[in-house]
Amino acid sequence: MPAPVLSVGSTVNATVSVGVLEAATDYKGQRSLPRDFSIELKQGSITNQRRSGRCWNPNRWNSIHGSRSPSVAADITCMERSRGWDCSHGFPVPLC
């Protein structure tokens, strides 16, 4: 049995009576959407990054750049010039 075709007037009436989101939502499609996933990805081992420099996010230092504190400015200069990072503490420490 084909779905009934709505005229523009009935669509406007439905939108006004129940709201835009309610009128636009297809609940039959949502109910039939499978919510279970059967794909499992192979998990690799966790890499100890140590001094690789991959453990820190350089964007975090952008908020510190505006600081007027000389000690913070010196630390930032050290971090920017440092090519080595010690990440064994759970956070990056420059090797200056």
Residue 57: the pLDDT is 54
Residue indicated by tokens 């956070």 = 91
**Alpha helices of 19-66 — where are they, by DSSP H?**
20-24, 27-32
Specify the pLDDT at position 36.
74
What per-residue confidence (pLDDT) applies to 4? 56
pLDDT at residue 37, as a whole number: 72
Report residue 66 as tokens.
Answer: 């505006």
Q: What is the pTM of this model?
A: 0.20
What's the confidence (pLDDT) of residue 93? 61
Higher per-residue pLDDT: 33 or 61:
33
pLDDT band at 22 (very low <50, low <70, confident <90, very high): confident
Non-local (6+) Cβ contacts of 93 within 8 A are 85, 86, 87
Taking the CB of residue 9, how many other CB atoms lie within 10 A of it?
A: 8
Kind plus residue range of the DSSP H or E element containing 93: strand 93-94
- Give me the pLDDT at residue 46, please: 72
